[in-house]
């Protein structure tokens, strides 16, 4: 049976049915999933009771898996190592985290509009987030369409943004939520990196803003002017006509295109309810400046 694609809007977000991620996906079905992904940028797969191995196998069809944890696992142990990011409110031992835990302070940054791994020189193509346990109140994930937001910009702004490069650094988003205690290892591994402010997505040919709470400066601009422009563009992109709010059901898998969407987690009572989500992140093919043929001196 062929897969079924049910769009949420004509160009952004689709639900995918008649697919079983516990089994290898036939090439024809995978090609349809891929085509839907390039078109809608966010795909929702309801009712997928997958194992970590099956999650990884599906993600791996989109490209190489990111393997390095952002935080030093010695300073912040989590339930998983390697390819899995623990997007839960649980400690390495599986208990609800404490109010002042390092993980909780760090993950508060997920409530800011961001895209995953833009603070890495090689950013991410897509993240695949699987929900095991969801919460009864709040804990949604919002997604913003940066292609539609780009299309809606006045021509003068499009001209101004052409060719601009922003500096992305994990410290920029984390300082905003009060997390400043990166250790030596983390500082060394995570220096600021350049990324294009506007990208062209090869598979759709569409242009998109490439923003995140990690973006702090625009190269060639005074710091305050760059900051202001980034804040203004994030506010533009996250107007309600560009935003979809995902309300999670258990065993749902959602994947999004990190090149042309932003997302954020909404609040929930994280000291009361267990929210158990696991993420696998797939790398892009190259840094966004390299892909655009723009040469930037190492930051």
Binding region for Mn ion (CB under 5 A): 116
Binding to ligand OGA in span 79-118, by CB under 6 A:
87, 110, 116
54 binds, among Mn ion, ligand OGA, none (CB under 5 to 8 A by kind): none
Which of 89, 118, 141, 288 binds ligand OGA (CB under 6 A)? It is 141
Beta-carbon contacts of 205 under 8 Å, excluding residues fewer than 6 positions away, are none
Residue with smaller CB distance to ligand OGA, 5 or 283: 283
Q: Is 265 in the site for ligand OGA (CB under 6 A)?
A: yes
Residue 194 CB burial class (10 angstroms; 0-12, 13-18, ≥19):
buried
101 binds, among Mn ion, ligand OGA, none (CB under 5 to 8 A by kind): none
Q: Taking the alpha carbons of 88, 91, 94, 95 in that order, is the dihedral positive or negative?
A: negative
- Report in angstroms how near the CB of residue 110 gets to Mn ion at its nearest: 5
Residue with smaller CB distance to Mn ion, 166 or 262: 262
Q: Which residue is nearest to ligand OGA (CB)?
A: 265
Residue with smaller CB distance to Mn ion, 138 or 296: 138
Asked whether the beta carbons of 261 and 114 are under 8 A apart, the reply is no
Asked whether the beta carbons of 212 and 266 are under 8 A apart, the reply is no
- 228 three-state secondary structure: helix
- Report in angstroms how near the CB of residue 128 gets to ligand OGA at its nearest: 9
- Report in angstroms how near the CB of residue 113 gets to ligand OGA at its nearest: 10
Work out the widest C-alpha separation in the chain, in whole angstroms. 57
Show the DSSP H helices in the chain as ranges: 27-40, 52-60, 102-107, 146-151, 155-161, 170-176, 184-189, 223-237, 288-292
Residue with smaller CB distance to ligand OGA, 236 or 263: 263
- Report in angstroms how near the CB of residue 102 gets to Mn ion at its nearest: 18
Q: Is 44 in the site for ligand OGA (CB under 6 A)?
A: no
30: which 2 tokens?
Answer: 């995978």
Q: How far apart are CA 37 and CA 120, in angstroms?
A: 23
Question: Cα angle vertex 12, ends 111, 59, to 5°?
Answer: 70
Q: Is 120 in the site for ligand OGA (CB under 6 A)?
A: no
- Report in angstroms how near the CB of residue 211 gets to Mn ion at its nearest: 13
Q: How many residues make contact with ligand OGA (CB under 6 A)? A: 10
Q: Is 127 in the site for ligand OGA (CB under 6 A)?
A: yes
Residue with smaller CB distance to Mn ion, 116 or 270: 116
Q: In what order do the strands lie in the sheet with 243-246?
A: 243-246, 141-145, 261-265
Q: Is 263 in the site for ligand OGA (CB under 6 A)?
A: yes
Q: How far apart are CA 157 and CA 1, in angstroms?
A: 46
Beta-carbon contacts of 199 under 8 Å, excluding residues fewer than 6 positions away, are 207, 208, 209, 210, 259, 260, 288, 291, 292
- Report in angstroms how near the CB of residue 9 gets to ligand OGA at its nearest: 20
- Report in angstroms how near the CB of residue 255 gets to Mn ion at its nearest: 12
Residue with smaller CB distance to Mn ion, 48 or 124: 124
Q: Is 215 in the site for ligand OGA (CB under 6 A)?
A: no
Given the rule CB under 6 A, which residues bind ligand OGA? 87, 110, 116, 127, 129, 141, 263, 265, 277, 279
């Amino acid at each position: 049976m062929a897969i079924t694609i049910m769009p949420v809007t004509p160009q952004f977000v689709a639900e995918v049915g008649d697919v079983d991620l516990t089994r290898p996906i036939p090439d024809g079905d995978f090609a349809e999933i891929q085509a839907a992904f390039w078109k809608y940028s966010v795909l929702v797969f309801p009712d997928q009771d997958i194992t970590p191995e099956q999650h990884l196998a599906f993600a791996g069809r989109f490209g190489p898996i990111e393997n390095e944890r952002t935080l030093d696992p010695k300073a912040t142990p989590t339930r998983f190592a390697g390819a899995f990011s623990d997007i839960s409110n649980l400690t390495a031992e599986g208990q609800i985290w404490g109010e002042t835990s390092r993980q909780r302070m760090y993950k508060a940054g997920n409530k800011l509009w961001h895209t995953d791994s833009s603070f890495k020189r090689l950013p991410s193509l897509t993240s695949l987030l699987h929900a095991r346990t969801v919460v009864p109140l709040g804990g949604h994930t919002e997604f913003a369409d940066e292609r539609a937001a780009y299309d809606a910009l006045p021509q003068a702004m499009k001209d101004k943004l052409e060719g601009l490069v922003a500096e992305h650094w994990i410290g920029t988003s984390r300082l905003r939520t009060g997390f400043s205690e990166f250790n030596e290892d983390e500082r060394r591994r995570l220096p600021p990196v350049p990324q294009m402010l506007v990208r062209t997505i090869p598979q759709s040919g569409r242009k998109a803003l490439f923003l995140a709470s990690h973006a702090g400066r625009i190269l060639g601009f005074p710091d305050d002017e760059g900051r202001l422009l980034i804040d203004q563009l994030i506010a533009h992109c996250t107007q309600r006509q560009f935003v979809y709010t995902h309300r999670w059901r258990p065993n749902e898998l959602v994947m999004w295109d990190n090149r042309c969407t932003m997302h954020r987690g909404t609040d929930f009572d994280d000291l009361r309810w267990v929210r158990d989500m696991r993420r696998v992140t797939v790398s892009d093919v190259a840094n966004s400046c390299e892909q655009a043929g723009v040469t930037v001196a190492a930051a």
